[in-house]
Amino acid sequence: MDIAVKGIAVLGATGSIGSSALDVIARHPDRFRVNVLSANTQIGALLKLCVQFKPALAIINDGSQLDALALGLRNLGLKTEAAAGPDALCHAATRSDVDIVVAAIVGAAGLRSTLAAAQAGKRLLLANKESIVVAGSLLMQAVRDGGAELIPIDSEHSALFQCLPGPALGRAATPEVRRLILTASGGPFRGWRRDQLEHVTPQQACAHPRWSMGQKISIDSATLMNKGLEVIEAHWLFGAAPQCIEVVVHPQSIVHSLVDYVDGSMLAQLGAPDMRTALAYGLAWPDRMTAGVAPLDLLQLGRMDFEAPDTQSFPCLGLAFAALEQGQSATTVLNAANEMAVSGFLQGQLRFLTIADHIGRMLEQFGSERASSLDELLELDRRVRLEPLPHH
């Protein structure tokens, strides 16, 4: 059977998720064609990808680099068109030659293009947590209205998607599902007490034992905020009430998440800790295809451990649950405050433990506000980001 070649836009192509997506796509030239690539500021890396994939369009988020991008493409003899800025990203997500959008832009910057892809009825491979954390209700509505296919490619949510009965989105709200259980690696400081975390450095926090990730997501993993954001995502994606979502620490990172059913069955998805599995699943769904990932060797693995998260030493997870209970505005506040605090920590402006303090303070200050439209949510996001960080 001939499979129609699908056109793909990889938004955030130079990051770790974009790179993994392109690695999988390159293995299947008979199935996929890359038509759009975007990067934030890494113009050299973007040009290199354009040589390899020859997309119709390349986008640099930083408008001041547009001329340099256009010149670079011309000098390489490529016919790729150059564009810049958030509007170009939104337009790219709705192009007629794009069937699948890989939404891998980090942070709130990826929000509008993700919504645009959903509204245009694309298959949306979602790696951008913030789109759901900041605007989950709006995104899920856009998916329904646009007839889009939303397939999460966080390893945890891909696991839940695979373990829930189809169509998986919203299915955790049904009586047959008792709990969604998200697994966490525990990050680089698993087992550390609060007093040991007082003086940890950004370098230590970025040294994840299992994954190689960007700085922001590495710090989120170290504070357990990454898992908190995933709890909020699971609520919106699968319709699970906050009290029906649990987190367990699983240092081997082999079980990616589990669904607990009312009959006593528990389904889990296992695999090597490699993003390419979830990406290949999203690209080929409902089929499966090779991803370049080695099969799991259970005999070599030998054992798997599970333990409760330490929410005393890592309060960010509890803050995320609290924000989810408060509602959409509070999760927007949580996300903005966390992004600012993580940036401050990376720049040496505040200590590791102060990240949670700042988020807690912002939730107290702004968490009860009521914002519902995208413009209102983004305005709330903007105001939270203007608040000063605590002194070092």
145-187 per-position pLDDT tens digit: 999 999 999 999 999 999 999 889 999 999 999 999 999 999 9
What is the spatial order of strands in the sheet that 81-84 belongs to?
Answer: 81-84, 57-60, 32-39, 6-11, 100-103, 123-126, 149-152
The mean pLDDT value for 309-324 works out to: 97
Residue 206 C-beta-side C-alpha neighbours within 13 Å: 11
Banded model confidence at residue 346, pLDDT cuts 50, 70, 90: very high
Distances (CA, A) of 8 to 147, 151, 202: 18, 14, 35
The mean pLDDT value for 292-306 works out to: 94
The mean pLDDT value for 250-264 works out to: 97
The overall average pLDDT reported for the chain is 95
Q: Which residues are bridge partners to 177 per DSSP? A: 261
pLDDT digits (tens, 9 = 90+) for 261-284: 999 999 999 999 899 999 999 999
- What CATH architecture does domain 6-153 belong to? 3-Layer(aba) Sandwich (3.40)
User: Where do the structural domains in the chain lie, given as residue ranges?
Assistant: 6-153, 161-326
Model pTM score:
0.94
Share of the chain above pLDDT 70, in %: 98
Banded model confidence at residue 98, pLDDT cuts 50, 70, 90: very high
Identify which of 2, 47, 58, 36 has the alpha carbon closest to the alpha carbon of residue 122.
36
The mean pLDDT value for 212-227 works out to: 89
Lowest mean pLDDT among 131-135, 194-198, 238-242, 305-309: 131-135
The mean pLDDT value for 54-64 works out to: 97
Cα separation, 49 vs 58, in Å, equals 10
Identify which of 91, 110, 114, 112 has the alpha carbon closest to the alpha carbon of residue 101.
114
Lowest mean pLDDT among 33-42, 111-120, 207-216, 376-385: 207-216
Q: What letter represents residue 19's amino acid? A: S
Coil, strand, or helix at residue 54?
Answer: coil
Is the pLDDT assigned to residue 213 strictly greater than 90? no
The mean pLDDT value for 347-367 works out to: 97
Is the pLDDT assigned to residue 26 strictly greater than 60? yes
The mean pLDDT value for 204-213 works out to: 79
| Strand 255-261 versus strand 266-270 pairing type | antiparallel
Banded model confidence at residue 107, pLDDT cuts 50, 70, 90: confident
The pLDDT of residue 211 is 65
The mean pLDDT value for 328-342 works out to: 96
CB 348 within 8 A of CB 201: no
Is the pLDDT assigned to residue 1 strictly greater than 60? no
Q: Which residues are bridge partners to 152 per DSSP? A: 126
The mean pLDDT value for 370-391 works out to: 93
Cα separation, 170 vs 162, in Å, equals 13
